[in-house]
Amino acid sequence: MLIGQGIDAHRFAPDRRLILGGVEIPHELGLEAHSDGDVLLHALCDALLGAAGLGDIGHHFPDSDAAFKDIDSRVLLQRVLQSLTERDLRVHNADLTVVAQAPKLAPFIASMRDCIAADLGLPMARVNIKATTSERMGFTGRGEGIAAFAVVLLDDSGLSAAL
């Protein structure tokens, strides 16, 4: 098994859609980013890359590259998963946390789990998503943005078998 963690944060901005875990969430503000700003999928991608020893999302998808402008982060996730597949690495499970003062995310957790589990090819029970506030402390607490944390476990038994 290989463990990886990912952390990301994005600032709120007007005239942007709020996309978290591949799901559009009704809110007056979205997240500023070169991509669609899906902070949860970015943390997940970083955790996957970290577990595989493949660096980070900024290295693979630089925001200086126009090809990634407003890109759907699920496409980035698919590319990361492709890199894992090429290395015979399989995702075992993912545990994800979103820190946001607003909006209330509880009504959207099931949809996000569904979406991410489908993308990872895992049953929903292997994809956990938690949402919390930071009790009005810090940048998330002041409503300046959203932070996300991800921990994943990869199964490298396919790789070991090939060696």
In the complex, the residues that contact Mg ion under the rule CB under 5 A are 8, 42
Smallest separation (angstroms) from Mg ion to the CB of 85: 23
The count of C-alpha atoms lying within 13 angstroms of the C-alpha of 45, restricted to the half-sphere facing its C-beta, is 27
Q: Which of 42, 74 has the CB closer to Mg ion?
A: 42
Q: Which of 36, 156 has the CB closer to Mg ion?
A: 36
Q: Are 9 and 43 in contact, with CB atoms under 8 Å apart?
A: no
Smallest separation (angstroms) from Mg ion to the CB of 142: 19
Smallest separation (angstroms) from Mg ion to the CB of 8: 4
Q: Which of 8, 156 has the CB closer to Mg ion?
A: 8
Amino acid 135 reads E
Amino acid 144 reads E
Q: Which of 46, 156 has the CB closer to Mg ion?
A: 46
The count of C-alpha atoms lying within 13 angstroms of the C-alpha of 122, restricted to the half-sphere facing its C-beta, is 21
Q: Which of 9, 117 has the CB closer to Mg ion?
A: 9
Smallest separation (angstroms) from Mg ion to the CB of 158: 29
Residue with tokens 């759907």: 72
Smallest separation (angstroms) from Mg ion to the CB of 160: 32
Report the residue number whose CB is nearest to Mg ion. 42
